[in-house]
Structure 1
């Protein structure tokens, strides 16, 4: 009974204090230790630290970052190649391409394969309709496509692209010299200056970085609004 009371008191102290609690070994009537020592602490950020190795458990964000980096490095089909494949299937102008690790259209298309990584390319056709085309990142084959009736940015996209000579595929190739491209999007809201292609790159050990590619010159500059980036002012052009 006394042993149970001691253990309960130590456990309560750990829960209330939010700090380090040590369960001390107690001794039974025969003099032998009956409770093993367990050292557990709660870190300042709320994570649980195992004192045996001194490291916090990985956060969900850290695991997601590693998963995204692994997906990017394993994709054999580049963003530029995925855009080209999508335009062969659905003629028009590619406005964005994103490497997606989840099949968001599985339920709508009746596809019960579950989650499957794919490039998702948004294409604006000549008649003003929008199409979403999914490309296999391993083979470059078209996994499916559908019309996106909810898209209402036709006028904005056309206005931003007017006078520009750099396509989404060319922007992806220009930024590929920085790292592995995981997305290309037309930034036409004007918050970060004139309309441009916004390209995201990712790699193991480098994290995520956003770049802006000029629609007219193809010049690549670091996106200064990207809080996760290195803040470097590297620039260059890899126009084809």
Structure 2
């Protein structure tokens, strides 16, 4: 009885001063055990909140060219803008994710000069065109250029064809054992895909070259 009176007195005093009530009594093991269990449950819940891990698993994929998701300018749009600014044959388009967040379209003009045209992913505005002065093209490069010039399906059309498979993040030429085709990378539902687009028919097939 005396113990209960002491607890009641302490509780009333704590409430009157706005403090936190911590009811305990010497030798009251049940109350102590209950308090410890409550503290443990609270700590476990807090740890779960801090260690979801779900977002961390998606970090690499969500980095996948975030400019596409919030910019709206597709690979096909970027190629069209680049060719309007710098007429020629587009050989590749790549969404640069090195911090600049811009499409980089490689264009070869009629006189053979090569330019890297940068296109803003949010507006489609051409940010600039830098001439590539490296004269290191080999026989394969020349063959790919000739194939692209003669192709019924250009880089823009290849990007449009592959867009049915996901968001296009890169398009370029690939010579596979003498057969040149457009190689297109896509992202859909957090998964990356690689596709071949035929130069003559725009037929899209999955690229199994890199499969283990």
Normalized against structure 2, the TM-score is what? 0.68
State which of 177, 201, 209 in structure 1 corresponds to 2:186.
Answer: 201
Distance in 2, matches of 1:126 and 1:177, equals 31
Equivalent residue number for residue 103 of structure 2: 119
2:168 corresponds, among 158, 161, 181, to: 181
Matched, 1:90 2:75: no
2:76 is matched with: 80
CA positional deviation for 1:128: 1.0
Equivalent residue for 2:145? 158
Task: Find the aligned partners of 1:86 and 1:161 in 2 and give their Cα distance.
Answer: 16
Q: Indicate the residue corresponding to 1:101 in structure 2.
A: 97
SS in 1 for 2:187: strand
- Runs ≥4 in structure 1, deviation > 3 angstroms? 52-59, 151-154
- Equivalent residue pairs, number: 166
| Alpha-carbon distance, 1:55 to partner | 6.3
The residue matched to 2:64 in structure 1 has which SS? helix
Q: Tell me which residue corresponds to 1:172.
A: 159
Q: Decide whether the 8 Å contact of 1:129 with 1:147 is kept in 2.
A: yes
User: Can you give the 5+ residue segments of structure 2 that lack an aligned partner in the other structure?
Assistant: 1-39, 41-46
Aligned mates of 2:72, 2:135 — CA distance in 1? 29
In the TM superposition, what are the counterparts of 1:118-137 in structure 2 within 5 Å? Answer: 118-137=102-121
More helix by share: 2
Measure, in 1, the Cα distance between the counterparts of 2:147 and 2:64.
29
Query: Once the 2 structures are TM-superposed, how far is the Cα of residue 66 of structure 1 from its aligned partner?
Result: 1.5
Shift of 1:182: 0.6
SS of equivalent residue, structure 1 residue 84: helix
- Matches of 1:227 and 1:65, distance apart in 2: 19
3-state SS in 2 of match to 1:158: helix
Is the contact made by 1:72 and 1:202 (CA closer than 8 Å) also made in structure 2? no
Paired residue for 1:63?
Answer: 59
Name the CA shift for 1:128/1:69 in 2 (closer, same or farther; >3 Å).
closer
- In the TM superposition, residue 129 of structure 1 has moved relative to its aligned partner by 1.1
Cα pair 2:68 2:121 within 8 Å, conserved? no
Choose 1 or 2 for highest CA Rg: 2
1:69–1:202 Cα contact (<8 Å) kept: no
CA distance in 2, matches of 1:120, 1:162: 20
C-alpha separation in 1, matches of 2:97 and 2:69: 13
Give RMSD over aligned pairs: 2.8
Partners of 2:128 and 2:110 lie apart in 1 by 20
Change (3 A) 1:165 1:151: farther
Contact 1:97–1:121, Cα closer than 8 Å, also in 2:
yes
What are the ranges of 5 or more consecutive residues in structure 1 without an aligned counterpart?
1-36, 38-51, 103-114, 229-240
